[in-house]
Amino acid sequence: MEVIPAIDLKGGKCVRLFQGRADRETVYYEDPLEVALMWEQKGASRLHLVDLDGAFQGSPKNKEVIKKIAAVLKIPIQMGGGIREEETVAELFSLGISKAIIGTAAVDNPDLVERLVNAYGERIMVGVDAQEGMVAVKGWVESSNLRALDLVKKMEQAGVKEVVYTDISRDGTLQGPNFDSTREIAENTEVKIIASGGVSSLEDIKIARQLEGVGISGIIVGQALYTGKFTLEEALKI
């Protein structure tokens, strides 16, 4: 199981939001490249990068920062946030991004996901962001009438092999991930599930590790690392 540190980009800086709300922002690093290199040096096997401006506005807005990070890091980078066009995916791959995470477009344009999977295979991931089991889109500001599990099943049929599942109500709160919902999705599909949202302690890492057998292949950690709840090295030992 992978422990994957997260960098959320907003205005060219490394930030964290509370429950995905743009008005509840904390800046942790002025230079995201600095923190990306730090996570790589501390043993991360890959980096989770999110363009928050892109998620809110519909297309990536921090391309210069993304380009700098991708040019220097040796570990793979998975990235989401405003990836809603085939041209955007091609551009990000040209910049050095390893995997593209499709979010809103997986709901609005599932045929796009299928075309991308046919073109790029396992380099295409899907991000499923949910609140009370229902999928949210467009930077989490709009709700859909689609259940998270149903979306994952649809994406599985489209050929997607890896999904990031986030419970929005937990994200940035340090309350622990919603392991019940994450487990339900993992048990009812064959895709690899990366848990995300609210990781608060090493106990959360241990729980995720215990669920590896049902299909949870990784866990994304953000605020807990930035606020010193535990270190990446400690999490990797687990």
- Could you tell me which of 5, 58, 59 has the C-alpha nearest to residue 28? 5
Contacts of 144 (CB under 8 A, 6+ apart): 107, 134, 135, 136, 137
User: Is residue 129 among the annotated active site residues?
Assistant: yes
- 147 burial via Cβ count (<10 Å: 0-12, 13-18, 19+): middle
121 conformational bin, left if phi > 0, alpha if psi -120 to 50, beta if neither: left
Integer Cα distance of 20 and 16 in angstroms: 8
Tens place of pLDDT per residue across the chain (238 aa): 999 999 999 999 988 776 545 556 688 889 999 999 999 999 999 999 999 999 889 899 999 999 999 999 999 999 999 999 999 999 999 999 999 999 989 999 999 999 999 999 999 999 999 887 889 876 555 677 899 999 999 999 999 999 999 988 776 667 889 999 999 999 999 999 999 988 999 999 999 999 999 999 999 999 999 999 999 999 999 9
User: Is residue 8 among the annotated active site residues?
Assistant: yes
Per-residue model confidence (pLDDT) at position 8: 93
Contacts of 180 (CB under 8 A, 6+ apart): none
Say if CB 208 and CB 219 are below 8 A apart. yes
Longest dimension (CA), the chain: 42
Q: What pTM was estimated for this model as a whole?
A: 0.92
Per-residue model confidence (pLDDT) at position 29: 83
Q: Which of 8, 53, 171, 204 is catalytic?
A: 8
Residue 17, SS3 per DSSP:
strand
Per-residue model confidence (pLDDT) at position 141: 57
Q: Phi first, then psi: what are they for 3, rounded to 5°?
A: -105, 120
Per-residue model confidence (pLDDT) at position 71: 97
Q: Which of 51, 53, 129, 167 is catalytic?
A: 129
Vertex 77, ends 72 and 82: CA angle to 5°? Answer: 115
Q: Rounded to 5, what percent of the chain is helix, strand, coil?
A: 40, 30, 30
| DSSP assignment string, 198-225 | ---SHHHHHHHHHTGGGTEEEEEE-HHH
Collect contacts of 139-143 with beta carbons under 8 A, ≥24 apart: 139/20, 139/22, 139/52, 139/55, 139/56, 140/20, 140/55, 140/168, 141/56
Integer Cα distance of 132 and 147 in angstroms: 9
Per-residue model confidence (pLDDT) at position 9: 95
Per-residue model confidence (pLDDT) at position 169: 77
The residue segments making up the domain with residue 30 are 2-237
Q: Note the pLDDT tens digit of each residue in 30-49.
A: 999 999 999 999 999 999 99
Domain count of the fold of the chain: 1
CATH classification of the domain holding 152 = 3.20.20.70
Contacts of 117 (CB under 8 A, 6+ apart): 124, 158, 159, 160
